[in-house]
Amino acid sequence: MTRFITRNGWVLGLLALLALLFVFTKAIQPFYGAGDFGSLARAVLPFAFAVAAQTIVVIAGGIDLSIASMMALTSVTAASMMNGASEEFALLVVPFVLVMGLLLGALNGLLIVVTRVPDIVVTLAMLFVFQGAALLVLEAPGGAAADWLKALITGTVQLPGLPEAITAWVPKALVLLVICLALVWIPLRLSGLDLSLYAIGSNPLAAFRSGVPVARTKILSYALGGLFGAMGGLSLTMSTGIGAPIPGPYLLASVAAVVLGGVALGGGRGGIIGPIVAVIILRLVRTDLTLLAVDPNVTAIIEGTIMVIVVMFGAYIALRGRSS
Amino acid sequence: MSQGTAAVPQVSLGRRISRFMSDQPLVPLIILLIALVIVLQILRPGIVNERWAANTVKFAIPLAILAGCQTMTMLTGGIDLSVGTVATMGAFIMVTQAAFHDPAVAILIALVPALIIGFVNGVGVGVFRVHPLIMTLGTSLIGMGCLLVYQRSVIATGTKVPEALAWLAIGTTYGFPNALLLFVPIAAFIIFTLNRTGFGRLLYALGDNEKAARLSGVIYWKVIVTLYVLSALLAGIAGLLFIGLIKSPSLSLAEPLVLPSVAAAVIGGTSIFGGRGGYAGTIVGALILQILTTLLTILQMPEGARRILFGLIVLLVTAIYLRIIENR
């Protein structure tokens, strides 16, 4: 038990913080109910996918600056393909876009491995490339989304045998998020590939000498990041019904949540749950500040301050832990 | 001895060229720069003239100063992503304060937030050991929020770009842009600091091997705090110059320069992991990016295609350049 706590201390702390925030939200807004929780889940969805993408790349020792552009590109591709098409056609669009994300992510990884240019520079260059491609697909926000896709994240899941009072608190967006994350993460875990990701993140040379295919694993991490990016892009199209070629604020948010979630930016440490909880916390803080009728401009200051202080605090603890 | 001299001709010409280039990393960059100018002249004969050169230099200077911030921080293995916000803050506060203060006073007021942000960055990175990427992103978020609040308090006052600043940023004397009056001392200062002072050596030392530098008595936080304050100050000055050039203050003024400033430093041969690089290459890198932008503009391609080409060329140049340097 103690081992579990010390191992997952950071995530447990984040969960406690999240619970406290929910209590706080309920206190300042007594009418905060299932509907508001549902809209929080919908708002979190694209952020959570961006964070998942960033997490997997950072764990493997990289960083993906192109994630927001990747989401914009996949989102406009999906939206323009579904524009004027039948509902059934969207069944083809979704796997197409997911494969596209996977391949574009793999391209990121391949370029890093082949050119030996640092990750941060390659993904910076690809940020411009994806952004440009998104503008070529759609010059202005537009396109459409199939109705069944939009329905996929609105409303709640009806579970047989459970009263309405409970199912009202299970928004479809949250279920979709958990399913998508599990579909990628669990096979990774079972196949043992996650160990290779951590290995090349913490020490590429040691990983190479113990027989981990470093280049292939690197490409895999970026490909999975691209897959999550495509999911994020699709979720953007799903929630807005259109595609916008201008990247959203997802790069900053994803890096912040990854660090807050206890993943070391150098790679090799952390998990997927921490960053996801962290991004929900960041969104909930924003909701609370809106509920408190704080000036939206001040909200940015508070968000930034929280981010900086938490990260400083975390770094300080890590420093203490190392020296003692 | 005679054998040694006999061996020289056996080294092929290609090898000798590549060896020469890796010894003189600036040479391939300047060759690329000249090649770009030639391409520009072929595509649009007559475009390369005195006025064009002056304009290119004018627009490259703010980018080059910001890239100087990246060069210095990257030498220690860091990065400063708050330069865009700091430059915007400096510019915006200056033009609003200049409406009811003397320009000199307004400039001094405008540089105060830059110092504060630089100091906070330095403390976060140097004392608390936060990753520079996340620290500078965080402070730029806070700074932008403060600027939004500030904007609302001065919404009625109007703005004014001081004459002297506009003269410095836009004007030319005998065909030379006046901005060089500011930039040449700054560039000389950065190059001198990096190559000839103890502080510059410490930056290289920390980036090359932090542990060794610490063990030999470098006080990490002092160096880092000084570095980030200096970087923010330069970014603030770049912002002042940029507003003189653009003349229309907005809250996203210098933001589009942030990622190109990183690219300019990387193209210029500064390693993002620290310990290797210099400012001379960065200046050429900034010029290359500026000419590249002009080149892509006159090709009259759609905006999307231009961005794709920009990204690919940055990647290509960096990859080739790294190959050349690695030959050493």
| B298 in reach of chain A (CB within 8 A) | no
Dihedral of the alpha carbons of B309, B315, B321, B322, in degrees to the nearest 10: -170
Q: Distance between CA atoms of A233 and A70, rounded to whole angstroms?
A: 8
Q: What is the pLDDT of residue B64?
A: 94
| Average pLDDT value over all residues in chain A | 85
Å between B164 CA and nearest CA of chain A: 33
Å between B7 CA and nearest CA of chain A: 33
ipTM of the complex: 0.81
Q: What percent of chain A has pLDDT over 70?
A: 95
Pick among A67, A117, A265, A285 to test the B interface (most B CBs inside 10 A) = A117
Q: What percent of chain B has pLDDT over 70?
A: 94
Å between A127 CA and nearest CA of chain B: 7
User: In the predicted model, what is the mean pLDDT of residues B96-106?
Assistant: 83
Contact B138 A299 (CB under 8 A): no
Å between B168 CA and nearest CA of chain A: 32
Q: What percent of chain B has pLDDT over 90?
A: 19
**Of A111, A266, A319, which has the smallest distance from its Cβ to B315's Cβ?**
A111
Query: DSSP string of B78-112?
Result: ---TTHHHHHHHHHHHHHHHTTTS-HHHHHHHHHH
- The nearest alpha carbon in chain A to B79 belongs to A120
Contact B318 A125 (CB under 8 A): yes
Q: Distance between CA atoms of B219 and A158, rounded to whole angstroms?
A: 61
User: In the predicted model, what is the mean pLDDT of residues A145-173?
Assistant: 77
Q: Which two tokens stand for residue B313?
A: 């060329």
Q: Which two tokens stand for residue A319?
A: 């420093």
Contact A316 B124 (CB under 8 A): no
| B149 in reach of chain A (CB within 8 A) | yes
Contact B129 A315 (CB under 8 A): yes
Q: Where are the domains of chain B?
A: 52-326
| B308 in reach of chain A (CB within 8 A) | yes
Contact B273 A122 (CB under 8 A): no
Contact A128 B139 (CB under 8 A): no
B4 pLDDT tier (thresholds 50, 70, 90): very low
- CB contact set of A13 (below 8 Å; sequence gap of 6+): none
Contact B311 A122 (CB under 8 A): no
| B142 in reach of chain A (CB within 8 A) | yes
Å between A187 CA and nearest CA of chain B: 31
Pick among B276, B310, B315, B326 to test the A interface (most A CBs inside 10 A) = B315
Å between A269 CA and nearest CA of chain B: 15
pTM: 0.81
- The nearest alpha carbon in chain A to B137 belongs to A252
CB B242 within 8 A of CB B62: yes
Q: Which two tokens stand for residue A110?
A: 């391949």
Q: Distance between CA atoms of B67 and A168, rounded to whole angstroms?
A: 52
pLDDT of residue B7 exceeding 70: no
Q: Distance between CA atoms of A18 and A281, rounded to whole angstroms?
A: 6
pLDDT of residue A262 exceeding 60: yes
Q: Which residues pair with B176 in a beta bridge?
A: B173
Q: Which two tokens stand for residue B134?
A: 């996340």
Domain covering B52-326 in this structure, CATH number: 1.10.3470
Q: Which two tokens stand for residue A132?
A: 């440009």
**Of A111, A132, A297, which has the smallest distance from its Cβ to B145's Cβ?**
A297
Q: Which residue has the higher pLDDT, B317 or A181?
A: A181
| B112 in reach of chain A (CB within 8 A) | no
Q: Which two tokens stand for residue B167?
A: 């003269």
Torsion A68-A74-A80-A86 (CA) sign: negative
- The nearest alpha carbon in chain B to A139 belongs to B304
Q: What is the pLDDT of residue A69?
A: 92
Tell me the chain B residues in contact with residue A65 when contact means C-beta distances shorter than 8 Å.
Answer: 259
Q: Helix or strand or coil: residue A142?
A: strand
Pick among B127, B131, B134 to test the A interface (most A CBs inside 10 A) = B134
| B303 in reach of chain A (CB within 8 A) | yes
pLDDT digits (tens, 9 = 90+) for B214-231: 888 888 888 899 999 999
Establish, for the pair of chains A and B, how many residue pairs have beta carbons separated by less than 8 Å.
Answer: 150
Judged on CB neighbours under 10 Å (0-12, 13-18, 19+), A28 is: exposed
Q: Helices (DSSP H) in chain A: which residue ranges?
A: 2-7, 9-28, 34-59, 67-82, 89-115, 119-137, 147-151, 164-167, 172-191, 193-202, 204-209, 214-240, 250-260, 273-291, 296-323
Contact A252 B137 (CB under 8 A): yes
CB B43 within 8 A of CB B50: no
A3 pLDDT tier (thresholds 50, 70, 90): low
pLDDT digits (tens, 9 = 90+) for B138-172: 888 888 888 888 888 877 777 777 877 887 777 77
Pick among A110, A312, A316 to test the B interface (most B CBs inside 10 A) = A312
Largest separation between any pair of C-alpha atoms in chain A: 64
Residue B100: Cβ within 10 Å count:
12
Q: Distance between CA atoms of A70 and A227, rounded to whole angstroms?
A: 10
Tell me the chain A residues in contact with residue B315 when contact means C-beta distances shorter than 8 Å.
Answer: 111, 115, 117, 121-122, 125-126
Q: Helix or strand or coil: residue A243?
A: strand
Tell me the chain A residues in contact with residue B310 when contact means C-beta distances shorter than 8 Å.
Answer: 128, 132
Residues 4-63 of chain B whose Cβ lies under 8 A from any Cβ of chain A? none
Q: What is the pLDDT of residue B2?
A: 46
pLDDT digits (tens, 9 = 90+) for B29-65: 888 889 888 988 888 887 778 888 888 888 899 999 9
pLDDT of residue B8 exceeding 60: no
Contact B149 A304 (CB under 8 A): no
Tell me the chain A residues in contact with residue B309 when contact means C-beta distances shorter than 8 Å.
Answer: 132
Q: Where are the domains of chain A?
A: 44-249+264-270
- The nearest alpha carbon in chain A to B307 belongs to A132
pLDDT digits (tens, 9 = 90+) for B167-189: 777 777 887 888 888 889 999 99
| B305 in reach of chain A (CB within 8 A) | yes
